[in-house]
Structure 1
């Protein structure tokens, strides 16, 4: 939002009113799940581009497709690396060690079931990845605007504002000498700094590409590499506890290869940073937030 305002764009924020936007923003209060109320709240407004940060289900996507058809020329949805989780869907095989390209999950052909209980919180939590896959599929087929989805890697950074708390999990455990639960042979994944993701979304809003786009910084990292980066800042060696096969592990410890290819974004002109360059700063922010809360 701040980047759009700084670039001189007119910005409209649509939410339920729980989080006020910054000054200079047109604020529309509406529940996106209520199609009639959303359309009424928008009135005669039209947009060059819509950036959807909170689309989690095909039902929400279908509402958005109907409401914004004819109101915008471009629609960008924030999606997730979780769409590639082989534990949540039957996906085409990718050789171990090969970063996953966008075509492994093709929204144009992905099946959609609007009758599933998408309004049930417990169901939605358990079907997060499938909800994103089906939301992409609905918007891809909708027509009425050019559609692109940004499949974000695991987002880190922001200190106390880091919404997942996963980096805090590592800083706290390593600082306190508590064990990190890891798989016997953890495989790598990819990350992106929250500022870089914001830069990419701004770029995507003004670009012309359509379809899915992977968003991740350069450099894969497994759980031991992440713990080592945290330990270097904490000044204390990490303690790791190996879990049995199929057992619960710490976030970012994966027993399957979980890294995306960012080649398409690079070919389209976006330059990524390296995870190794920004991760120490993100760890420092997490440590500062921990100290402030003690």
Structure 2
């Protein structure tokens, strides 16, 4: 029975991942600060991953076949985990993000207009790591989320204690009220109530994935042995903000009200003035089959509409 440790795993697709691993007869251990207990039958270690001494003490003599890290946001956290799990696991999977390809990243300037970005565009093996930045400061971390993820990937990639894979997830949707980003709910609320949505006049596409598909993907990545390195994960069928709005409008029965902003100015969360979609060919070549956005987006919107409906 494979032993899998999940850091985080208390909400959204992480919670679903834990249930999927348990259903597949893996021996699962969850590590978090204890805000939400895991399902019955799963070992739970309550500890702050930022406290290296406490983490090592909580682990004791435990070893795992795989560690899935859902809550690593900084190079400091990555360095602590790399030391704590050296000699305890053969494989480490970190949940990363499409935001490592933030359009503000200089490397994006090298991509031809309209081209979904491949993993090699952001190579963690060569990315600069600066652990002395104020990563402990919540405001700083929020403002530098993408850079924190890039540097965390870099720390794990250079570590020699285990095989490492970074799962770079597209924007995650679905789950109704459980969708913790609230981004789909924002668009549903605005369109349903006829409120303005700030968009770029020439908005470009981005990539999405359903939270259940991401849980499936993470389970696949955790149990794989045939690849390492970063892997882009997104459903086929990127959408720009107008296409997303059209699907919502069709189900809400209301036309969107848009307010155009100039290139470079702030807009709503899924409006981008530079191409912000990922190429998922590597994951496909490694054996994962993705859905198309149209397979699940109407259902996700219906869930968001239900969650936004007033109670009766």
Q: What TM-score comes out, normalization by structure 2 length?
A: 0.92
**Equivalence for 2:229:** 211
**Equivalence for 1:288:** 306
**Equivalence for 2:240:** 222
Residue in structure 2 matching 1:63, options 58, 80, 84: 80
Q: Matches of 1:172 and 1:31 in 2, distance apart? A: 36
Q: Matches of 2:138 and 2:295 in 1, distance apart? A: 38
Q: Matches of 1:221 and 1:283 in 2, distance apart? A: 14
Deviations 1:88-121 (A, max 9, x none): 4545611011110000000011110111111011
Please give the secondary structure, in 2, of the residue aligned with 1:22.
coil
8 Å Cα contact 2:241-2:270 kept in structure 1: yes
Q: How far 1:136 moved relative to its partner?
A: 0.2
Q: Compared with structure 1, are the counterparts of its residues 278 and 77 closer, same or farther at alpha carbon in structure 2 (3 Å cutoff)? A: same
8 Å Cα contact 1:91-1:105 kept in structure 2: no
- Structure 2: runs of 5+ lacking an equivalent: 1-17
**CA RMSD of the aligned region, Å?**
1.1
- Residues 188-207 of structure 1 aligned to structure 2 (within 5 Å): 188-207=205-224
8 Å Cα contact 2:141-2:148 kept in structure 1: yes
Please give the secondary structure, in 2, of the residue aligned with 1:11.
strand
Q: Compared with structure 1, are the counterparts of its residues 137 and 278 closer, same or farther at alpha carbon in structure 2 (3 Å cutoff)? A: same
User: Which stretch shifts more, 90-99 or 226-235?
Assistant: 90-99
Q: How far 1:223 moved relative to its partner?
A: 0.2
- Residues 118-137 of structure 1 aligned to structure 2 (within 5 Å): 118-137=135-154
**Equivalence for 2:200:** 183
Q: How far 1:220 moved relative to its partner?
A: 1.1
The answer to whether structure 1 residue 257 and structure 2 residue 278 are counterparts is no
Residue in structure 2 matching 1:235, options 253, 270, 276: 253
Q: Matches of 2:44 and 2:22 in 1, distance apart? A: 14
Residue in structure 2 matching 1:75, options 68, 92, 95: 92
Q: Compared with structure 1, are the counterparts of its residues 57 and 18 closer, same or farther at alpha carbon in structure 2 (3 Å cutoff)? A: same
Q: Compared with structure 1, are the counterparts of its residues 85 and 147 closer, same or farther at alpha carbon in structure 2 (3 Å cutoff)? A: same
8 Å Cα contact 1:49-1:74 kept in structure 2: yes
Q: What TM-score comes out, normalization by structure 1 length?
A: 0.98
Deviations 1:115-173 (A, max 9, x none): 11110111111110000000000000111110000000000000000010000011111
Q: How far 1:20 moved relative to its partner?
A: 1.0
**Equivalence for 1:104:** 121
Please give the secondary structure, in 2, of the residue aligned with 1:73.
strand
Residue in structure 1 matching 2:59, options 42, 49, 61: 42
Q: Matches of 2:177 and 2:282 in 1, distance apart? A: 32
**Equivalence for 2:32:** 15
Number of aligned pairs?
294
Structure 1 residue ranges (4+ consecutive) displaced by more than 6 angstroms after TM superposition: none
